[in-house]
Homo-oligomer: A and B are copies of this chain.
Amino acid sequence: MSVLKLLEAQKAGMTLADRQIAEFILDDPGRMLELSSAALAEATGRSQSSVVKFSQKLGYAGYQQLKLAVNKAKALEWHAPGGVIHGTIDASDSYVTILQKLIGSKLLSMRETSSANNEEAVDAALAKLSSARKVLLAGVGASSLVAADFSYKLLKLGRTVLLNSDSHIQISNASALDESDALMALSHSGRSVETVRIAELAKRRGATVISVTGMQTNPLAELADIRLFTVADEDRVRSSAITARDAQLMLMDMLFIMLLRYQTDANDFIHDSESAVTVFKV
């Protein structure tokens, strides 16, 4: 995940001084690289110590490390894939342009989502998903559809999965969890009331909570044992959670494919389930 995206996402929740510094960096990352902590402080009208503290709050050891991260983000930014257009979709766009921009946005979200998650978190999630006695999936709205898609895949792998779009039933299911179970909770905002409640309940029951949320600080990720992240490109595809959903799907698809490797008998299950479905074909 690029620092710049991280800043963008967290900016809103920052204090005044931090936000001013973040804005300066986002506005002109190249300039920031030439500035010392004191110079950046002067340019933003804050104190040098605030700049250092800002760096540390972001998780870096100090200002130098933040600089390196910004430098890296800037270097990678250049690398736009060929034939893909990144731009805001607007009403005057032609049919072809809309398609190109839509694909571009989807691709961007998928790429950033794939780099937003480190291998350790993914491994931890995989280990728990494959060892858990049962897996409860939670999500409302668009996230519930992603949850349903994933549950469908887990079922194909022969795993025990609980899913219900009715939040009362989800709560009941969560109450029945224990240490050997896992809850996978999806919410791009990380703030959907029902999903957070279910996660709290599951955690109290001792189940492992895996969160799938956006990068901004949010209650769901905070209480989770294993945190996975999705990155959306909402600015470009206005309205509706299109790229947020794509990012979630991308992450779940990846988990599914990785689970196939964990589980040696996976292909048998999939084959069985697919030939069973063939009965319903014309």
Contact = CB atoms under 8 A, between A and B. Distances in A.
Interface in A172-197: 189, 191-194, 196
Interface residues of A, number: 64
Contacts of A57: none
Nearest to A80: B79
A56 interface: no
A73 to B, nearest CB: 8
Contact of A249 (B71, B84, B189, B246): B246
Contacts of A257: 89, 98, 102, 237
A114 B103 contact: yes
Contact of A152 (B84, B142, B156): B142
* Copies, count: 2
A253 B219 contact: no
A126 to B, nearest CB: 10
Among A67, A74, A240, which residue has the most Cβ atoms of chain B within 10 A? A240
B258 A98 contact: yes
A194 B282 CA distance: 9
B106 A193 contact: no
A99 interface: yes
